[in-house]
Amino acid sequence: MDTRLYITHKSALHFWRCYRIASLDPSKKLLSFNAFPAATNEAAQCAHTSREIQDLLDTLNLPFGLDLIKLFGSTLHIALASFEQKCRMQTVKTHVWPFTFTREAFYRLDNNVYIASPASCLAQLSRELSLPKTILLSMEFSGTYALDPNTRETHYQVQSILTAEGFRAFLNANPHSKSSKHMNALRASEYMICNSASRMETNLAMLLTLPYRYGGYGLPKPDMNVDLLNNNSSSSPQQHKRFKPDLYWPKYNLALEYNSHEFHVTPNTYEHDADRRDILEEMGITVIPVSKQKVYDPSLLDHLSHKIANIMGHRLKLPKDFMQKQDQLRQEILF
């Protein structure tokens, strides 16, 4: 029987962030995971002794030009089939994981080394994370930005590796994922919004749309960064033909544009943003610019939320403990 190494949890998160950042470099050949699904319906001996783990790592063809620590983190997280299996390596953290999952749970990296898929990784981490942190991570995976695990820098315009539908399908296909320990994963699949382009867009969307009991304003979920085609014949050829509003509610012809300090501080970008707003308004869309201050200042965010609700014809009925709930949410996602 083959001995296999199953890399999971934080090490899988480390890997997928590196994978997404590597996708920005055309010189780096990415792995074709769809061609190598793990045969997880077959019994396999999990590598758990120091010798077995080290032998498999020694034969691993490391991708992206990274060493083991940069690829998986300083502590290697692996899955074992039972509590009876132990590993005495100080740099290895073991997790007992039920091996009754679908073929989408792990992908083969090389030989007998497997990595938890994005959906499986998120489900694993949801047992350790709070609900807001789980949603944050789900929106990073399903968005177009990634946090570099080695430098802590944020990279943009990376490929997404998860969809809400795909995550829900994974959870529904894996019976163990429906246990009470995975409630955060199930809830995150309900509240996550795909296509966020930055962490601040994610923060804003969560603060506006999560239910009152989690500290959000309970507004309808928007589309994020979807293509809008400008068919206005009065627009000059130099003007934009396609737009991707940060947050967009097509039912209400309402868009929010987050103006970050990173990309919107020069005179040229201010002019560019103003042109975008003018053309969107020509298309019949109400545009509300949002600054970082509006996200971080509770009173300004409250004013913004009521303004959005008023445009939608909604009445916000905030409970008495709402500010306490929102403060908890803000502490989780903003700081």
Bridge pairing between strands 242-243 and 228-229: antiparallel
Among 136, 157, 191, the domain boundary falls at 191
- pLDDT, tens digit (0-9, with 9 covering 90-100), for 56-97: 999 998 888 889 999 999 999 999 877 667 777 889 999 887
DSSP label of 64: T
For 303, other C-beta atoms within 10 Å of its C-beta total 12
Among 123, 157, 191, the domain boundary falls at 191
Q: In this structure, are 70 and 153 located in the same domain?
A: yes
pLDDT above 50 for 41? no
DSSP label of 207: H
Range of the domain at 14: 3-191
- The pLDDT confidence band at residue 264, using thresholds 50, 70 and 90, is very low
The pTM of the full predicted model, rounded to 2 decimals, is 0.90
- The pLDDT confidence band at residue 134, using thresholds 50, 70 and 90, is very high
Type of residue found at 308 = I
Average pLDDT over residues 269-283: 72
pLDDT above 90 for 236? no
Q: In this structure, are 135 and 216 located in the same domain?
A: no
pLDDT at res. 176:
65
| CA–CA dist 234, 308 (Å, integer) | 29
Q: In this structure, are 249 and 208 located in the same domain?
A: yes
pLDDT above 70 for 265? no
pLDDT at res. 31:
67
Q: In this structure, are 206 and 306 located in the same domain?
A: yes
- pLDDT, tens digit (0-9, with 9 covering 90-100), for 139-156: 999 999 999 999 999 999
| CA–CA dist 259, 59 (Å, integer) | 47
Per the structure, how many domains does the chain have?
2
Q: In this structure, are 167 and 36 located in the same domain?
A: yes
Q: In this structure, are 51 and 141 located in the same domain?
A: yes
What are the tokens at 25?
Answer: 């470099």
CB pairs under 8 A, 24+ apart, for 30-39?
30/63, 31/63, 31/107, 31/109, 33/107, 33/108, 33/117, 36/107, 36/108, 37/103, 37/104, 37/106, 37/107, 37/108, 38/103, 38/105, 38/106, 38/107, 38/108, 38/114, 39/103
Among 191, 217, 245, the domain boundary falls at 191
What are the tokens at 162?
Answer: 């998860």
Of 313 and 84, the structure prediction assigns the larger pLDDT to 313
Q: In this structure, are 207 and 127 located in the same domain?
A: no
Q: In this structure, are 250 and 123 located in the same domain?
A: no
Give the torsion sign (CA, 175, 176, 179, 185): negative
Q: In this structure, are 116 and 227 located in the same domain?
A: no
Q: In this structure, are 177 and 226 located in the same domain?
A: no
Q: In this structure, are 54 and 150 located in the same domain?
A: yes
Q: In this structure, are 230 and 185 located in the same domain?
A: no
Please provide the average confidence, as pLDDT, over all residues in the chain.
Answer: 87
Of 8 and 31, the structure prediction assigns the larger pLDDT to 8
- pLDDT, tens digit (0-9, with 9 covering 90-100), for 181-200: 678 999 999 999 999 999 99
